[in-house]
Chain A
Amino acid sequence: MSLLEVKNLRVTFDTETGPVQAVRGVSFSLGHERLGIVGESGSGKTMTGRAVLRLIRPPGRVDADVMTFDGQDLLNATEREMRALRGKRIGMVMQDPKYSLNPVMTVGRQLTEGLRLRDKLGRADATAKAIAALDAVQIRDPARVMEAYPHELSGGMGQRVMIAMMLIPEPDLLIADEPTSALDVTVQAEVLSILDGLVRDRGMGLIFISHDLRLVARFCDRVLVMHKGVVVEEVAAANLLEAKHPYTRGLLNCLPRIGGPRGPLPGLDRSGAWATEGAP
């Protein structure tokens, strides 16, 4: 049985000028594998990730025909049941650690609060577990980082802390929402290889949301290509270069290549029927 099953997912925002659908009927299923979701800004990839955790705040609404996690219905779960899933079984790493870590709490408190509150661990046990988690993301001086505030960390370290925080409860599914977009390229590679290693070792399911096609192709097993809230194509990552859909082809053509022709890159051709299809 698959870990996560989503059929016809819709995320709607009721605005003053009528409802706006950010996600319009997305379906996919996920086992203990690594699924990439790519698409341009506003294609609904982030909303898809947050809808799974039911973290869309009003006025946003989430509907779907089916949305189950490990057999449990996510649509009709109570808030209490959702809280038991969040953190414990599903984690999420966000884009920029500058904003996703609480600026006035020490790293240590943020890492241990779940352990202390939810798992009722004592201070010493929780600290030991948190330090082990920081070790696992290759932070060299975990005891010192525990005492630090987020603004005292670099972006790469902040993102490792975030990954450590989400992996402490050993979830079955991790949603990584552009986890490296706010980092510079060398740090990106480090953080990704850490994430990759941990996901492989622990056999977690991963939803990797990115706008970087090459990253997704290298990092995932399967790729969903989203555009305007709809999945336009689903391909195995290995076959991404052979993708058929004109939007995916367009995105691929925009990528610069070493040794490629040195003229201007082609823009995305939006003249096809797909570009206006079902548009509001």
Chain B
Amino acid sequence: MTALPAPPPRSRLLPFLGQIALGIGTLAITLLGLLLITFIIARVVPTDPVLSIVGERATEAQMEAIRVKLGLDLPLWQQFFIYVRDALQGDLGTSIRTGQSVTAEIARYFPATLELATLGTIFGTLVGVPAGVLAATRPGSIADQIVRVVGLMGYSMPVFWLGLIGLLVFYGKLDWVSGPGRLDPTYDMMMQFTLTSYTGMILIDAALNGAWDVFANAISHIILPAGLLGYVSMAYISRMTRSFMMNELGQEYITTARVKGMPEWRVIWVHAMKNVLVPLITVIALSYAYLLEGSVLTETIFAWPGLGSYITDALFAADMPAVLGGTVVVGVVFVTLNMASDILYRLVDPRARA
């Protein structure tokens, strides 16, 4: 008679929660490492934070006073401790350029990037996954060739060029969409003075306020850059989906599903897709994280006040606290998305839960 192998655990939730806790622990260590690196960079780069505050004609005594005020006279380990403590409290320092809190500034810039990257990733996934599946189920067909060529174009054409051409055609010639920026100036004023800001993402805020004219205007502004970023991530996602799907369709369990008389849509979209999702989640998360870094070129062309342009501007102004604050945020985004994809991965793949 058969002996049962190790019985499956009665509750699948408990070990799963334990893994999440472990994940959060790992996350904390990673972030500490990230802070250490940005801290060291700030001490190594040849810009003197004191000099950039007091200017070149300050006296030795004035410079010393600022040095003490910034805590730069303390030993390094103590400085790092203060840096971590402040960062944990959400204080990333003061921008040299503007004299404002870096945290507050990033809180203003990041939602613009978040909005753009999220929409771009949604586009990229909604088009890329079906396109990849279509190509994988009919390898060598016209549809497959089209998906491959369109994907290759998204890979190889520089995004700034596509952006400029997009603006020229859809804004300049056809006038189907609005130009650079997040809103027309009138709506921008409305957004700033009469509407309540909840998230900093205009689409969501306008919808929450019920200001549908603002919403429509924001859509006509965001559609082109989001479409562009969506195209780039679609190129990547469709290629990966195609190769994952082709691999799964060659597996024996697919034959089993067909032997059972399952219709082809179910074989592809249920049996194979559940397996494709496992690696695909990581691909989509990484491409989302990449867009969240703030795509500098796209944000520049579309005058999009996002994280990418914030960090670039700060860099040109040698505004070290702002650059490092931005870097920390990018790092946090990456690590968080990685962890999120790890959790999702375990949800779709029972073998990873054990």
Contacts and interface: CB of A to CB of B under 8 A. Distances in A.
Do A and B interact with each other, yes or no? yes
A95 B8 CA distance: 25
Interface stretch (A17-25, A123-131, A141-149, A242-250): A141-149
Contact of B252 (A88, A99, A151, A152): A99
A114 B253 contact: no
A151 B351 contact: yes
A95 B4 CA distance: 21
Contacts of A103: 253, 275, 349-351
Interface stretch (A78-86, A208-216, A229-237): A78-86
Using C-beta atoms within 8 Å of the partner chain, give the interface range for chain B: 20 to 34
Given A152-B8, A154-B5, A101 B256 contact: yes
B86 to A, nearest CB: 45
A118 B256 contact: no
B258 A140 contact: no
B348 interface: yes
Contacts of B174: none
B185 interface: no
Given A104-B348, A140-B2, A86 B261 contact: yes
Interface in B103-161: none
Contacts of B7: 144
Interface in A36-67: 50, 53, 55
A94 interface: yes
A138 B3 CA distance: 11
A102 B2 contact: no
B317 interface: no
Nearest to B276: A104
26 contacts: A55-B258, A79-B264, A83-B261, A85-B261, A86-B261, A95-B252, A99-B253, A100-B253, A101-B253, A103-B349, A104-B274, A104-B275, A104-B349, A105-B271, A113-B262, A114-B260, A114-B262, A147-B8, A151-B350, A152-B6, A152-B8, A157-B4, A160-B2, A162-B256, A166-B259, A190-B2
Given A96-B252, A104-B274, 17 more contacts: A86-B260, A87-B260, A94-B255, A95-B252, A100-B255, A101-B253, A102-B275, A103-B349, A104-B278, A113-B262, A149-B8, A152-B5, A152-B6, A154-B2, A157-B5, A165-B260, A166-B260
Interface of B: 1-2, 4-8, 251-253, 255-264, 266, 271, 274-275, 278, 348-351, 354
